[in-house]
């Protein structure tokens, strides 16, 4: 037989594109259209309905950036269309084929009920099937003219990311607003051809099935009347029916399709636009559920449900009905799909608590899995936290983006830092926006790593990132692929069902231990430094407010615990931990608003904490310590003078002047407090840090060396640091000034000022306090660089085989060598409050109060010693998608802690991030809780969320070893329970002599509910 593949394939392609596709709609009649441009921000339907509309013609430009235009569309179904399927078809002037980053619209009936949304891949609105003829149509269409930020594929700087800089020129030209008849036979022929052609081209050339389909398509084209596509469509489908009817092989891979619409809670659009995106996508999804009984849609992010509940009650009612019918599956159990590395441990716990409670309260459903397809790597603390929240499975997708190493598993047990394992799946289709294309189905099977062990995988299907969701075309593909020779089998089902079957068929799946590190998007640990600082400080201020509000509720008559305010503030912080806000990868508008929200949160929490402390009584001055560790350190009195105080963990003490064992001596550029001696060189770096306790030089080279690197990644500017950034740099070694600014015996300080680059300045106050080995670098930067990253280096004279970096409820160890490609790929990593490096008998820590990115490397010196260098990433200057990212002022502190054990480092990390509070208070009760024994660390103290008055305490083992002790209370204790994260009882805890004995495995998290006597 002659090889005629090319001729046939090109024939089919042209006939489909130029004849069949245009014939899907058999007849059209235009709407009469009027328009009204809403001023400023979006308005309610009621305001839009009352507005004055003017005639609007097709091919007319409309829509300023971030604007809202309302269109009134009126029409009548022609009488001759009776018995036919009639739809409205609307094309706002769509660009490309991505629904989420351009014009979108929500179609309402005249009474305000939302019907359905339109986007480039979903332009229709059902009217009647069958029509009776004569139906009067009156729509109000809310159209958003969001700019296409991705127009240049992230290659060009754009001002469109903020309404303040985007201008007002119209972005779109309206193309179409019609009543139309859907020719269902042609519609189905269109899908038959697409599915078969895509299957064919992804089958191997030697496969008989490929050639069978090829010749069936050729015969089908012979049956097609090019002058009467509609009239010949049925005959063409008859030719194709036999090849569509052939069943899949018995051993075919099974793909569990789960309807999905990934909606970023903010990214290339602001939060206000996401609120509207949810209404559009969810309207489409519920409309699709009405049309396809076998459709199931999985949807995460309780925050988005709440937006719909509060703003679109009709859509909310439809969601509730779909949930009852089993077609809508709440998943994920988190408030938002948060970043997987940066939120603190307690914040991840609250993400799970608030998310799961929302679904339980509103749908009576307890979600069973963590659904996080798109975060940029995942902390090794997740397995334990997920299980403690009652989850059985974990789903992710993003690790498929690895730059260097292919992740070896798709179905596996993921083991966290404490030993907890959770069943995890990583869809081999390599997208969370699947559409069941032939290429996707082929990739899923080829890519699947578990062949011979498992035989099924999951595919989230539907257009996403900016929403859109599944379409009827995708559902039709799924039906055709349910049992088709040459293809994997596709079954649309609930993700819980997939995970149950996958676990049953593959119980001995392989184990992955530790973090799921994404070998890409490493700059998300640093970009948009003010957003990250706002998150860090909000987390610690929430901890502080809860502790002192609990103290006041227990001991201050008349004080009322601020449940609702704390709940609202927590949810604000959780929202901004979304995986494109906290990582710094959103447009300018998002980060501008985030900074304002963090400022508001800080102000409210300051008021709540001050009210709680004031409720404890006035008439003196006390120091309040929110840290879980006893502290002896220098604070400022209300008059501004330094004072040395000793304060118990989670408690307070009078502000009394206590003389430390050693004071600070300042001589020239040398600070000495008897514990360490710090010498500042003429160039402003540290020339020596000597640990006087063991007579040991800490540094192996210049300390606090500030290095400015060129930072232009290959593609994703705000997301990525590529390895070549390290090849070009400038060391900042020419200070403007180096001067002593404090010679107080309690506090010595030297200030170094530098100017560099394009008008940037940095002022650092190097501070050493009495009684502490910690050296602080209080930093004030006025940053005006572009495509640069600033790092601070501490080369220390220790031979460290690994570094330890704090993560949620513990820390991870990472090798300092680069023996394999896996270690080499970790050239930039994340950590929370500290990084520790050490050799047996001696360690050094670098602490911070707001950044997350760092790198650790080591070199061997000429004298044979090893220098291990820890570098903090301080600030970046990407230009896409926010051209002004990180520009302006930054204030933060980082520290060097010589001679530090892990326990020392944990304590100082809390101290740096939880400054002592000095307040007017006559007296204070004993701490709400205290712990006898080392290693048991208190992370949260609060009242139970159910309003019972019980006290809830979250503890964890912080050193990486076994820990035991006794939790004691500052109030009469009547009983105790171990609970899950949602404060539901798991078992009774023993109470002995007024305390609760506690025994923890390494990094174990324990929640106790304490009943008051």
Mean pLDDT of all residues in 85-102: 94
Beta-carbon count within 10 A of 685 CB: 22
For residues 645 and 635, the answer to whether their CB atoms sit within 8 Å is yes
Task: Take residue 422 and report the two structure tokens written for it.
Answer: 């959770």
Say if residue 83's pLDDT is above 80.
Answer: yes
What pLDDT is recorded for position 619?
A: 84
Mean pLDDT of all residues in 1007-1012: 97
What pLDDT is recorded for position 96?
A: 87
Q: Look at residue 617 and give its three-state secondary structure.
A: coil
- Cα separation values, 726 from 729, 827, 940, Å: 7, 10, 40
Say if residue 153's pLDDT is above 90.
Answer: no
For residues 456 and 501, the answer to whether their CB atoms sit within 8 Å is yes
Task: Take residue 321 and report the two structure tokens written for it.
Answer: 């009905």
> How would residue 97 be classed by pLDDT, with cut points 50, 70 and 90?
confident
Of 148, 264, 374, 904, catalytic:
374
**H or E element at residue 87:** strand 86-91
> How would residue 2 be classed by pLDDT, with cut points 50, 70 and 90?
confident
pTM (two decimals): 0.97
| 491-501 pLDDT per residue, tens | 999 999 999 99
Rounded CA gap, 199 and 488, in Å?
Answer: 10
Rounded CA gap, 876 and 528, in Å?
Answer: 8
Rounded CA gap, 303 and 359, in Å?
Answer: 11
Say if residue 795's pLDDT is above 80.
Answer: yes
Q: Is 980 a catalytic residue?
A: no
Say if residue 923's pLDDT is above 80.
Answer: no
Q: Look at residue 737 and give its three-state secondary structure.
A: strand
CA angle, residues 380, 386, 388, in degrees to nearest 5: 115
Sheet architecture: strand order including 696-697: 665-667, 670-672, 676-680, 686-691, 696-697
What pLDDT is recorded for position 618?
A: 86
In 648-720, at which residue ranges do the beta strands (DSSP E only) sit?
Answer: 652-654, 665-667, 670-672, 676-680, 686-691, 696-697, 705-710
Q: Which stretches within 312-420 are classed as H helix?
A: 313-324, 345-363, 382-388
Task: Take residue 577 and report the two structure tokens written for it.
Answer: 């931990």
What pLDDT is recorded for position 793?
A: 98
What pLDDT is recorded for position 150?
A: 85
> Residue 299: which of 500, 469, 520 has the closest Cα?
469
In 916-1004, at which residue ranges do the beta strands (DSSP E only) sit?
Answer: 917-920, 929-932, 936-943, 951-957, 963-969, 973-979, 985-989, 995-1000
Task: Take residue 239 and report the two structure tokens written for it.
Answer: 């030719």
- Cα separation values, 287 from 263, 313, 321, Å: 18, 15, 12
Sheet architecture: strand order including 929-932: 929-932, 963-969, 995-1000
> Residue 329: which of 300, 302, 308, 292 has the closest Cα?
300
| 951-974 pLDDT per residue, tens | 999 999 999 999 999 999 999 999
- Cα separation values, 874 from 564, 851, 969, Å: 36, 7, 40
Task: Take residue 443 and report the two structure tokens written for it.
Answer: 């990739």
> Residue 642: which of 744, 739, 743, 740 has the closest Cα?
744
> How would residue 921 be classed by pLDDT, with cut points 50, 70 and 90?
confident
What pLDDT is recorded for position 945?
A: 98
| 221-255 pLDDT per residue, tens | 999 999 999 999 999 999 999 999 999 999 999 99
Report the DSSP pairing between strands 411-415 and 511-513: parallel
| 300-350 pLDDT per residue, tens | 999 999 999 999 999 999 999 999 999 999 999 999 999 999 999 999 999
Mean pLDDT of all residues in 473-492: 98
Rounded CA gap, 606 and 544, in Å?
Answer: 9
Alpha carbons within 13 angstroms on the beta-carbon side of residue 95 total: 14
CA angle, residues 323, 328, 330, in degrees to nearest 5: 90
| 829-875 pLDDT per residue, tens | 999 999 999 999 999 999 999 999 999 999 999 999 999 999 999 99
Report the DSSP pairing between strands 297-299 and 54-55: unpaired
Backbone φ and ψ for 224, nearest 5 degrees, come out as -85, 125
Mean pLDDT of all residues in 536-553: 98
Place of tokens 């929500």: 106
% of the chain exceeding 70 in pLDDT: 100
Say if residue 994's pLDDT is above 90.
Answer: no
> Residue 917: which of 631, 598, 599 has the closest Cα?
631
């Amino acid at each position: 037989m002659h090889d005629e593949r090319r001729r046939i394939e090109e024939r089919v392609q042209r006939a489909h594109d130029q004849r069949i596709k245009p014939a899907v709609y058999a007849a059209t009649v235009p709407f009469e259209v009027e328009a009204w441009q809403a001023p400023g921000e979006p308005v309610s339907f009621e305001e839009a309905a009352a507005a004055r509309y003017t005639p609007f013609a097709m091919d007319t430009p409309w829509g300023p950036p971030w604007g809202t235009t309302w269109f009134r569309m009126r029409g009548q179904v022609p009488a001759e269309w009776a018995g036919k399927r009639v739809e409205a078809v609307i094309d706002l002037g769509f660009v490309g084929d991505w629904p989420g980053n351009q014009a979108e619209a929500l179609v309402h009936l005249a009474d305000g009920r939302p019907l359905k949304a339109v986007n480039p891949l979903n332009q229709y609105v059902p009217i009647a099937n069958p029509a009776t003829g004569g139906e009067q149509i009156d729509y109000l269409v809310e159209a958003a003219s969001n700019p296409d930020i991705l127009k240049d594929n992230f290659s060009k700087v754009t001002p469109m990311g903020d309404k303040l800089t985007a201008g007002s020129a119209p972005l779109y030209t309206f193309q179409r607003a019609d009543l139309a008849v859907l020719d269902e036979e042609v519609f189905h022929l269109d899908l038959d051809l697409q599915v078969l052609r895509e299957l064919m081209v992804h089958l191997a050339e030697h496969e008989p099935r490929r050639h069978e389909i090829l010749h069936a398509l050729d015969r089908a084209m012979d049956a097609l009347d090019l002058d009467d596509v509609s009239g010949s469509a049925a005959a063409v489908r008859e030719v194709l029916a036999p090849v569509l009817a052939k069943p899949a092989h018995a051993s075919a891979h099974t793909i569990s399709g789960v309807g999905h619409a990934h909606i970023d809670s903010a990214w290339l659009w602001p939060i206000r636009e996401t609120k509207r995106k949810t209404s559009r996508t969810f309207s489409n999804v519920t409309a699709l559920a009405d049309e396809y009984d076998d459709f199931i849609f999985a949807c995460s992010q309780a925050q988005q449900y709440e937006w719909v509940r509060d703003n679109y009650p009709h859509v909310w009612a439809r969601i509730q009905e779909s949930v009852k019918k089993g077609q809508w599956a709440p998943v994920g159990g988190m408030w938002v799909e948060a970043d997987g590395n940066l939120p603190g441990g307690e914040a991840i716990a609250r993400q799970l608590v608030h998310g799961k409670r929302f679904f339980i309260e509103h749908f009576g459903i307890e979600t069973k899995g963590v659904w996080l397809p798109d975060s940029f790597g995942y902390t090794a603390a997740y397995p334990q936290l997920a299980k403690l929240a009652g989850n059985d499975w974990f789903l992710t997708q993003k690790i498929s983006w690895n730059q260097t190493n292919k992740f070896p598993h798709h179905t596996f047990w993921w083991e966290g830092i404490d030993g907890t394992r959770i069943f995890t799946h990583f869809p081999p289709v390599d997208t969370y926006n699947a559409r069941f294309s032939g290429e996707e189905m082929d990739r899923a099977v080829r890519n699947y790593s578990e062949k011979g062990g498992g035989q099924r995988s999951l595919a989230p299907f539907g257009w996403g990132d900016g929403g859109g969701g599944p379409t009827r075309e995708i559902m039709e593909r799924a039906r055709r692929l349910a049992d088709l020779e040459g293809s994997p089998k596709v079954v649309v089902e609930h993700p819980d069902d997939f995970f149950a079957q996958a676990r049953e068929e593959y119980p001995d799946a392989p184990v992955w231990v530790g973090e799921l590190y994404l070998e890409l998007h490493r700059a998300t640990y640093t970009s948009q430094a003010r957003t990250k600082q706002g998150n860090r400080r909000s987390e610690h201020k929430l901890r502080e407010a809860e502790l002192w509000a609990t103290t006041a509720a227990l001991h201050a008559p008349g004080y009322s615990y601020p449940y609702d305010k704390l709940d609202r503030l927590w949810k604000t912080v959780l929202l901004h931990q979304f995986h494109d806000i906290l990582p710094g990868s959103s447009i300018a508008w998002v980060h501008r608003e985030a900074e304002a929200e963090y400022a508001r949160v800080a102000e409210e929490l300051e008021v709540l904490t001050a009210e709680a402390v004031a409720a404890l009584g006035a008439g003196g001055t006390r120091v309040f310590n929110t840290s879980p560790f006893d502290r002896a350190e220098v604070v400022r009195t209300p008059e501004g003078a330094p004072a040395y105080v000793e304060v118990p963990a989670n408690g307070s003490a009078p502000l009394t002047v206590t003389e430390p064992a050693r004071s600070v001596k300042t001589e020239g550029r040398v600070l000495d407090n008897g514990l360490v001696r710090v010498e500042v060189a003429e160039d402003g770096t540290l020339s020596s840090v000597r640990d006087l306790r063991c007579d040991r030089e800490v540094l192996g080279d210049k300390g606090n060396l500030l290095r400015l690197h060129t930072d232009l990644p290959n593609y994703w500017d705000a997301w990525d640091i590529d390895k070549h950034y390290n090849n070009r740099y400038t060391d900042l070694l020419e200070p403007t000034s180096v001067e002593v600014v404090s010679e107080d015996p309690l506090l010595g300080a030297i200030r170094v000022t530098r100017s560099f680059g394009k008008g940037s300045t940095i002022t650092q106050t190097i501070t050493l306090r009495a009684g502490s080995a910690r050296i602080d670098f209080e930093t004030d930067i006025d940053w005006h660089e572009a495509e640069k990253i600033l790092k601070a280096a501490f080369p220390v004279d220790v031979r460290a085989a690994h570094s330890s970096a704090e993560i949620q409820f513990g820390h991870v160890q990472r090798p300092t060598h680069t023996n394999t490609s896996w270690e080499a790929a970790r050239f930039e990593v994340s950590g929370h409050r500290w990084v520790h490096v050490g050799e047996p008998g001696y360690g050094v820590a670098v602490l911070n109060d707001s950044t997350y990115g760092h790198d650790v490397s080591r070199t061997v010196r000429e004298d044979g010693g090893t220098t291990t260098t820890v570098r903090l990433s301080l600030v970046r200057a990407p230009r896409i998608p926010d051209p002004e990212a990180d520009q302006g002022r930054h204030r933060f502190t980082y520290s060097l802690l010589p001679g530090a054990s892990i326990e020392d480092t944990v304590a100082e990390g809390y101290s740096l991030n939880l400054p002592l509070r000095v307040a007017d208070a006559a007296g204070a009760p004993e701490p709400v809780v205290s712990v006898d024994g080392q290693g048991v660390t208190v992370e949260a103290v609060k009242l139970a969320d159910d309003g019972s008055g019980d006290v809830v305490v979250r503890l964890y083992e912080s050193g990486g070893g076994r820990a035991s002790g006794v939790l004691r209370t500052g109030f009469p204790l009547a009983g105790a329970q171990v609970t899950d994260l949602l404060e539901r009882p798991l078992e009774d805890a023993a109470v002995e002599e007024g305390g609760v004995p506690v025994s923890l495995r390494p990094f174990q998290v324990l929640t106790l509910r304490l009943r008051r006597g």
